Amino acid sequence: MLAAALAAGKSANELDLAVASRPLSPIPVPTPVQPATRVLGFTQSALGLTVGNPLAVPAWANGMAQGEKLGPFIDQLGNSNFVVTIPLTQATTFTFSTAANGFAVFPVVGTPSPATSLTLGTGSVWFQATLLVPGAPAGSFCGFRISGGTLTSSAPVTLQSGAYIVPPAATLTLQATLAPPAPGSGSPGADLTTASIGLPATIRITFTQTAATSRHSPTRI
């Protein structure tokens, strides 16, 4: 009977007069799922300790900021093993003239293009060391962690194939707030761990196609 009534075009109110007086149930709105932070990881154990590598950190992870340390996990031989995570941050390549041969990566927020001012989020900055120190080994990079900042270009930069292209004659100025590791953490060694190092709060670096110049307050040790 219900199927025949619906087939005849009867509405829900016509089939049940009480429907109109019933309060409508709110439709639940699903909570947006936050994207999971991508991480890398490596296993750390006493079996990997050496004089030259007292923390058993693999070569590919040297210099990377570590996240969580999970464990210990005891193996069948009774050895303690830890899993150390390395959170991955979003960064965009910058290059002069063409999309090839990037000279730096910056944690740009969004993908504005063309633009003369870009906002930087939390992450790390890396650039060719030879721009700042001409005598540095070829192919070497230097970098630091930041909590935010800006990039300002003297001419519009454009996003092409996932990289920002800076015009050859333009200057690119980085103004960033540094995010150093917490005191008492990081590399091994009592002298370094307990040292009081007054790093500058902010840094300013101006890039051209051939060089980079920095300006910051003095470092206190």
Ranges in the chain, pLDDT < 50: 2, 6, 221
Return the pLDDT at 31: 63
Host H or E run for residue 197: none
Distances in Å between the Cα of 133 and the Cα atoms of 33, 116, 140, 177 are 45, 26, 10, 22
Q: Is the pTM of this model over 0.75?
A: no
Strands 141-160 vs 115-120: parallel, antiparallel or unpaired: antiparallel
Residues 35 and 49: their CA atoms lie apart, in Å, by 35
Return the pLDDT at 17: 55
At residue 196's C-alpha, the angle toward residues 147 and 213, to 5°, is 50
CB neighbour burial string for 122-143, b if at least 16 within 10 angstroms, e if fewer:
ebbbbbbbbbeeeeeeeeeeee
- At 164-206, the pLDDT tens digits run 999 999 999 999 999 877 665 555 556 666 666 777 889 999 9
